[in-house]
Amino acid sequence: MSTKDYLEKDYYKALGVAKTAKPAEIKTAYRKLARKYHPDSNQGDTKAEERFKEISEAYSVLSDEKRRKEYDEARSLFGGGFRVPTGSRPGGGGFNFDLGDILGGAGDAGGGLGDLFGTVFNRGNRTTAQNRPRRGADVETDTTLSFSDAIDGTTVGLRLTGEGPCPTCHGTGAKAGTVPRVCPVCNGTGQSSRNLGSFGISEPCKECRGRGLVVDDPCPACSGSGRAMSSRTIQTRIPAGVADGQRIKIPGKGAPGERGGPAGDLYVRVHVKPHPVFGRSGDNLTVTVPVSFAELALGAEVKVPAHRGAPVTVRIPPGTPNGRTFRVPGKGVRRKDGTTGGLLVTVDVTVPKDLNGKARSAIEDLREATAGTDPREELLERAKEQL
Ligand SMILES: [Zn+2]
Ligand SMILES: [Zn+2]
């Protein structure tokens, strides 16, 4: 069951012992290394975990008299450190001899080695992909800001939930006081292979679900998976001037990478609560200001609220139409370059519901005084022209 790796792996080197080492020496070397690289004392260190698997695998072969003999024979037969030439592909020509025949004639190697070559080929293709460092996933989250915080910028605590090592077993998946062992089906590779003619296809090992380690006594907290959902809170600076619906990228704050790969990025989607008085139009703030008919007709200076600081005065010239917008510079949203947008002030005539006697007669006088001019005259003329 472990013959497939015999040609690629030097188990003596893995344990740091001589090829002639006595069983007791092998045992001592293994114990020393296993203690050093045990996942419990190297939590989160994927290199240590790989090394631990390697040591355990080597020991499982060299501590078993029969398997050690098998291993020694396989290596003396084909030479240690045998590697499949790079660039050779199953069925791609170049390797046309039938390995099954050669191995079948090898006598004492038996049927086990027929299997060996199929998987050696296969390993050449997949080991790199399997062990390559992988970048962590990008993570997206949401945050809701007050209108003012969005304009001024703020720091928010973002709670991120994701899968990480189980805190109870430190990711080993084993119950406290027990150790996971190298999966005997895949020898810790996490991959299993099926042979199709002289080459094989690989898939995640069913026994260990691709992890390479099996747990006899599972950790009760994670049921042996070694993974748990956890949440962390990170403080993030939200720059001044963000708008509702904007997505901010925070590099390197996403999910952690695997096998030494870089972390992913964090994307924060910003939601901004509406303000009771002000609105936003790009870098400008907007405000609608009630005015009287007299103020528009005769002109006036009106006090307008500003988002920060004292109200500002806007001068309305005589004869200003309703709905006109005035721009007050410097009272808007701060831009990245340090400049600031404006405050857009739109005037909106209010019609009084209750008029006292004096005001009523004044307006009646106005109606009389302007009776000769029809405000709809121009509209009616224009409509006629279109006919
Ligand atoms: Zn656990
Ligand atoms: Zn396995």
- Counting ligands in written order, the one closest to the CA of 1 is 2
Give me ligand 2 centre to Cα 134, in Å: 21
CA 213 / ligand 1 centre spacing (Å): 14
CA of 166 to the centre of ligand 1 (A): 5
Q: Write the DSSP string, 15-41.
A: HT--TT--HHHHHHHHHHHHHHH-GGG
User: Which amino acid, 135?
Assistant: R
Q: What is the number of the ligand closest to the CA of 175?
A: 1
Ligand of minimum distance to the alpha carbon of 206: 2
DSSP 4: G
Task: Give the 3-state secondary structure of residue 187.
Answer: coil
Question: Using CA atoms, how far apart are residues 159 and 177, in angstroms rounded to an integer?
Answer: 33
Q: Tens of pLDDT along the chain (387 residues)? A: 344 566 677 889 889 888 888 988 898 888 888 888 887 777 778 888 888 888 888 888 888 888 888 788 777 665 544 333 333 333 333 333 333 333 333 333 333 343 333 333 333 333 444 446 678 888 889 999 999 999 989 999 998 877 777 788 877 788 888 878 888 888 888 887 766 666 667 788 888 878 788 888 888 988 887 777 877 788 989 988 899 999 999 998 887 776 667 888 999 999 999 999 999 998 999 999 999 999 999 999 999 999 988 999 999 999 999 999 999 999 999 888 889 999 999 999 999 888 899 999 999 999 999 988 888 999 999 998 876
E-strand ranges in the chain read: 139-145, 154-165, 181-182, 191-196, 199-204, 213-214, 227-238, 247-250, 266-272, 279-281, 284-291, 300-304, 312-316, 325-328, 343-349
CA of 201 to the centre of ligand 1 (A): 32
Q: Which ligand is nearest to the CA of 39?
A: 1
**Cα 219 to middle of ligand 1, angstroms:** 5
Between the alpha carbon of residue 77 and those of residues 83, 100, 123, 207, the distances in Å are 14, 15, 20, 31
The CA distance from 32 to 26, in Å, is 10
Q: Which residue has the tokens 């590697």?
A: 83
E strand or H helix that includes residue 149:
helix 147-152
Q: What's the pTM?
A: 0.51
Cα of 167 from ligand 2 centre, angstroms: 24
Between the CA of residue 11 and those of 48, 190, 210, what are the distances in Å? Answer: 17, 18, 22
Q: Are 216 and 156 in contact (CB under 8 A)?
A: no
Cβ neighbour number for residue 188 with a 10 Å cutoff? 26
Supply 303's token pair. Answer: 């006090």
